[in-house]
Structures are given as structure tokens and as C-alpha cells.
Amino acid sequence: MYNLTDYHIHSNYSWDAGQTINQIARKAKETGIKQACLTEHVDFHRNHPQSFMYLDTLYEEWTKTFENGKKIFPNLRKGIEVGEPYLHTGLYEKFIKGRKFDFIMASVHWIDGYSPVSDNYFTKYAPLKDAYKLYFDEVFKLVTYGNFDACAHLTLVHRNGKKFFPEFNYAMFKPELDDILKLMISKKIGMEINTSGLRFAAADFVPDREIIQAYLNFGGDRLVVGSDCHVIKDTFFGLEKAYKMFNEMGIKEITVYEDRQPRKVAIK
Ligand SMILES: [Zn+2]
Ligand SMILES: [Zn+2]
């Protein structure tokens, strides 16, 4: 019934993922999904050698494997999820220069050497509200730098943070979130609705419905949907549920990208 799209997929060309591009392409074909976009991790932290520039040396091989995957599923797209490009502008700009991507999404995955999805990130802060405030301050810096197509999992801090700070809601961080949302809209940066939160403590979309509605109310119209899958069992997970919510919210179209140009697709 819905024209499902998944714009957050990690293959084994991401340092922390296991599924192959062929597995993803076959599942896309079998599921009847409309579009699937690889979004491989690109990270530049020298203190995290597992991820540092992982895709850089594999880029040519990845591109060939992607082209083969396209033979199985022609609506496969080639993208990356770059971590904190605003902190590594030189390396990031060099990484994308002369290379072709359909879609570039950006994230805040590390703050002062800690990941906002790990328990030890939260135990550092008292009051816990500060852990969230700091995360949103970093997202604001990310959006201020821009130079990418969509902002991934805007409220990632709450995916695991719900265990520590269940009282989080939009109203509590309205000034911070509104500044981010308005800046995204003015810079034509899309908002990813990430379904991985359904698999973690948050048990909800990341960001949640209230924040999606705020983005729409400010005039935002570039919604992107992604499962953030790293293993084949999670691929396309939660998409139906997301589209059902979009339908209830009166959202008619979702955005997809080709050669980094946005295009709208009717949700059904
Ligand atoms: Zn991410
Ligand atoms: Zn991801």
C-alpha cells in the first residue's frame, strides 16, 4: 500500500555492519520497496581507529559492489552518513571531492570522546538535562556547517537516554530544537525519521511525532525515512509503521535523492 523508502542502510562497507550489498539488494527486490539508499559510515576520529576513514581506502571496491547491487535492485542509491563533518571539515571535504554520491546524511555520534547512545555518556552529567543540552548544541553546530543533504536521527541522544531521562520531550528543549529546525529549513537540510528508536530504549521514532510536527509547522518539507540497519534482519524495519504515522499526520510525500538532488515521492 505504501511507497516505502529506506534512506539509512549500512552494508559491510561500514565499519560496524555485517550485511552485504547483495543481501540488501535482494531483500529490497523481494520486499517490493521503492528505493533503498546505502548510507555508509564515514568518520574521522583519530582516537577511534576502527572507524577512522574506513570507507576511504575501500571506496573504489564499494562503488563496484554498489553497481553490481544495482543490477539486482535498480533503485539502489549510493550515500554516506558522515559523523561530525563540522569538526573535520578538511578531511570531509577532501573525502567527498570528485566522488559521486546520491545522498549525504550527517550525524553527531561523538561528544568529547563519548557516544550519546552509550550508558557512560549519561553518567557523566548531572543534571541529566545537560547531557541532552550538550547534544543539541552539537547538532546546532552540525547544521550551521551544513554541506550535507539531511540530518540523521535528530534526537539520537534519547534513543538510549530514555533509560536515564524518560521525561524528555519537545517542550523541554523547545528553544534549542526550534533553532535547529528553523536553521535546517533555511538551509534546505532534510530531516531523517529514524526507525531504529523502535528497537531501542526510546521505543519510538527518532525524532518523535511531536518534533516532526514542529518541523512541518515551521514549513519543513524534506522528510527522509531510514531504518538505520546494520544487519539484514533489521533492514527496512519499522518503515510501515512510520508511513502509517505519516498518513495519520497528513503527510503526503517523502523525499528521496539522486545525485544529491531531492525529489518527492507520494507516500502511497
Ligand atoms: Zn547514526
Ligand atoms: Zn547509521
SS3 at position 192: strand
Helix axis angle for 21-31 and 54-72, nearest 10°, is 40
Residue 92 has pLDDT above 90, yes or no: yes
> At a CB cut-off of 8 Å and minimum separation 6, what does 46 contact?
52
Read off the C-alpha cell for 79: 550515500
Confidence band (pLDDT; 50, 70, 90) for 244? very high
Rounded to whole angstroms, the Cα distance separating 190 from 187 reads: 9
pLDDT on residue 49 = 87
pLDDT on residue 142 = 98
Homologous superfamily (CATH) for 5-266: Metal-dependent hydrolases (3.20.20.140)
Confidence band (pLDDT; 50, 70, 90) for 138? very high
Q: To which residue does cell 556547517 refer?
A: 145
Residue 229 has pLDDT above 90, yes or no: yes
Residue 126 has pLDDT above 90, yes or no: no
Per the model's pLDDT, the better-predicted residue between 50 and 35 turns out to be: 35
Q: To which residue does cell 530544537 refer?
A: 177
- Residues with CB under 5 Å of ion ligand 1 are 107
Q: What percent of the chain has pLDDT over 70?
A: 100
> CB atoms < 10 A from the CB of 134, how many?
17
Q: To which residue does cell 497528513 refer?
A: 250
| Entry pTM | 0.97
Give residue limits of the domains in the chain: 5-266
Query: For residues 229 and 7, is the Cβ–Cβ distance under 8 A?
Result: no
Written as one letter, the residue type at 212 is I
pLDDT on residue 47 = 84
Q: How far is the CA of 257 from the centre of ligand 2 (A)?
A: 17
Alpha helix ranges (H) inside the chain: 21-31, 54-72, 89-96, 119-122, 129-145, 157-161, 174-186, 209-217, 239-249
From the CA of 7, the nearest ligand is 2
From the CA of 154, the nearest ligand is 1
From the CA of 109, the nearest ligand is 1
| 244-268: b (≥16 Cβ within 10 Å) or e | eebeeeebeebbbbeeeebeeeebe
Rounded to whole angstroms, the Cα distance separating 111 from 6 reads: 27
pLDDT, mean of residues 67-90: 98
Residue 178 has pLDDT above 90, yes or no: yes
**β-strand pairing of 261-266 with 253-258:** antiparallel
pLDDT on residue 162 = 96
Confidence band (pLDDT; 50, 70, 90) for 56? very high
Query: For residues 222 and 193, is the Cβ–Cβ distance under 8 A?
Result: no
pLDDT, mean of residues 155-173: 97
Q: What percent of the chain has pLDDT over 90?
A: 95
- Residues with CB under 5 Å of ion ligand 2 are 81, 228
**238: nearest Cα among 201, 199, 266, 210:** 199
Per the model's pLDDT, the better-predicted residue between 49 and 162 turns out to be: 162
Q: How far is the CA of 118 from the centre of ligand 1 (A)?
A: 13
Mean pLDDT of the chain: 97
Q: To which residue does cell 498518513 refer?
A: 247
pLDDT on residue 106 = 98
DSSP result, 136-154: HHHHHHHHHH--SSEE--T
pLDDT on residue 247 = 98
Query: Nearest 10 degrees: CA dihedral of 196, 200, 201, 202?
Result: 10
pLDDT, mean of residues 100-126: 94
Read off the C-alpha cell for 9: 542502510
Q: How far is the CA of 10 from the centre of ligand 1 (A)?
A: 10
